[in-house]
């Protein structure tokens, strides 16, 4: 019975595993900066037409900072500057609109009528 046993033959799969190299793939994932709004056109409009106390200029400066930070993949900084640009744009638009409405009211009803 001992003579009927065959000698152990090494498996060819184990030999292949030793000679193969495991390829690795590196994927660089950048944050999606396309979702951050920079309010650039609104800032230009406020700067050109509704520049109340230079708030339109400040909004434009922050909008440009958002674009720069998006290029540098600084997502947190871009979001914070976008919030600031939006705040200055809202303030500039609201105050300038309020002043324009007041001017139209005083042109329609001058103070000499009271």
Total domains present in the chain: 1
**Does some domain include residue 36?**
no
15-50 CB burial, b ≥16 within 10 A, e <16: eeeeeeeeeeeeeeeeeebeebebbeebbebbbeeb
pLDDT (0 to 100) of residue 63: 96
**Does some domain include residue 94?**
yes
pLDDT (0 to 100) of residue 37: 92
Mean pLDDT by 10 residues, the chain (114 residues): 60 56 72 80 94 93 95 92 96 95 91 68
pLDDT (0 to 100) of residue 33: 59
pLDDT (0 to 100) of residue 32: 66
**Does some domain include residue 18?**
no
Distance from C-alpha of 100 to C-alpha of 114, rounded to nearest angstrom? 21
56 near 95, Cβ under 8 Å? no
| Token pair of 75 as six digits | 């997502």
**Does some domain include residue 96?**
yes
């Amino acid at each position: 019975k001992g003579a009927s046993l065959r000698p152990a033959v090494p498996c060819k799969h184990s030999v292949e595993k030793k000679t193969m190299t495991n390829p690795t793939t590196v994927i660089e994932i950048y944050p999606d900066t396309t979702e951050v709004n920079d309010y650039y056109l609104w800032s230009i409009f406020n700067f050109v037409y509704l520049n109340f106390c230079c708030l339109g200029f400040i909004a434009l400066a922050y909008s440009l900072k958002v674009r720069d930070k998006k290029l540098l993949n600084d997502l947190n900084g871009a979001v914070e500057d976008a919030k600031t640009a939006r705040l200055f744009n809202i303030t500039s638009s609201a105050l300038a609109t309020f002043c324009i409405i007041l001017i139209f009211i005083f042109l329609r009803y001058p103070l000499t009528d009271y």
